[in-house]
A and B are shown apart, each in its own frame.
Chain A
Amino acid sequence: MKHLFKPQTLKWIVILLIVVLVVKLIWLAIEMTLLPTSGINQAEEVGGKSLYYRVNLSPNKASAPKKTLKQVPVGSIKDIELLAVYNAEDTTVVTVIYKGKSKVLGRGEKINGFTLEGAGSNYATFSKNGKVYRVNLIKGENGSTSGNGRSGISSRGKSSSTVEGEIVDAGDHKIVDRSLLSHYAQNMDDIYKNIGITEVKEGNTLKGFKITFVKRGSPFAKLGVQRGDIIKSINGQEINSYNAAFNVYKNIGNVENLTLVILRGNKEMELEYEIN
């Protein structure tokens, strides 16, 4: 009988097939013993809680009719022009023009029924009937703004690299300049130069974010947060995941108010900010 292939060739083909089979079996063994059969996917969050806006519904506060009482001299905030700002750690003095005359005011002093509450780098805040008003520094003839002397004194002629905007204490809440917020929203690096934040975990569950340091004199220090504070929620959004924190960061430019719930020691505290 005549062979179709040489027995030698056939033997070689069989050997090669066995080699291929052995390799396949090795991979199969690795696949079954060492490699996972399915991937790890991120569960996508649906219907995330949106940021809420603070509305004061407290019945103990001044009622609406009271607000309409006009016991103070009638006047508009537009009648007041801000000429200069002196803002030191313990003192705030502003120069305003009212009815064509300039007047120097200290914190707590009144003009046209408006009480000076504080000042930022280029503005001052006044209150009247529980409402806070902001007056910006007027421009000089050459386009510059007023302001002289020490570092506490401000002017609009700051370089673009410096952070603009101030935080003013208005009693039960703080007023944060929106430009300050916008700066940090666009320069994430600058946040970590001023504040250190680390995650707080219980087992595998993220419980919040702990502040590890706050640079003295930085806007973050002025916000009233301290080293050791644990941020539990921002505007009602529980900060229990990086995604939740990032969502707050992404939307921070659009908020009017910020309410931070923090854990200081064993005490839960609420810090409130108005974005102006």
Chain B
Amino acid sequence: MQMVKKVLMIFFIIWFAFVLFIPKQNLYYKLEQELAAQGIKINEGKISEGLFTLQIDEAVVYIKGIDLIHVKQASFFSLLFYSSIDLKGIVVDKSLSSMVPTNLEEVTLSHVIWSPRYVSVSGHGVFGAFEGTIDLAERKVHLDFTEITKLGVLKRQLKEGEKGWYYETSF
């Protein structure tokens, strides 16, 4: 029993040290590098590191050099077995207002290690709220619109199912 305790203790310390010492900022730069290869660049106003978090303030996302999305705050959090990205105050360029809602209050993406294939997504904006999953294996996105206040331009992109409106796409 004493031995089991010691092994568990060592595992806990390794995990804790592993999470604590993650070079968060450098990993973020690596993510930027990978995104840049896809034509997506992020200019951030401020980067700050916490114990388990990395926070980006006033980020501007450029797609193929076009200033398209502004994010007030992006927060990355990881405990290895559970990771999440929380985006707040997302504003999409007005010129795309006929295609997508230009204001999203919050979007959260989370991943748990015991369900490695899926990333959970939830969010809300003026149109209402949605939740769904990203299937990494099948490269599919499915979002169910759980609360609808004003769909507007979004309606063109949605399909109506038994449970209500949903959005589906593949990547």
Contact = CB atoms under 8 A, between A and B. Distances in A.
Interface of A: 12, 15-16, 19-20, 23-24, 27, 30-31, 34-42, 44, 186-189, 241-243, 246, 249-250
Given A31-B23, A31-B26, A39-B29, A243 B65 contact: yes
Contacts of B13: 16, 19-20
B1 interface: no
- Chain A at the B interface: mostly helix, strand, loop or mixed? helix
Contacts of A40: 29, 32-33, 36, 41
Given A16-B13, A27-B22, A44-B43, A39 B66 contact: no
B17 interface: yes
A151 B61 CA distance: 46
B48 interface: no
20 contacts: A20-B13, A24-B17, A30-B23, A34-B30, A35-B23, A35-B27, A35-B30, A36-B26, A39-B28, A39-B42, A40-B32, A40-B36, A41-B41, A42-B62, A42-B67, A44-B67, A188-B98, A241-B65, A246-B66, A249-B95
Interface centre among B6, B10, B95 (most CB of A within 10 A): B95
Nearest to B157: A189
B14 A42 contact: no
Contact of B17 (A20, A31, A41): A20
A23 B21 contact: yes
B18 interface: yes
Contacts of B98: 186-188
A189 B100 CA distance: 12
A276 to B, nearest CB: 23
Contacts of A38: 29
A39 B21 contact: no
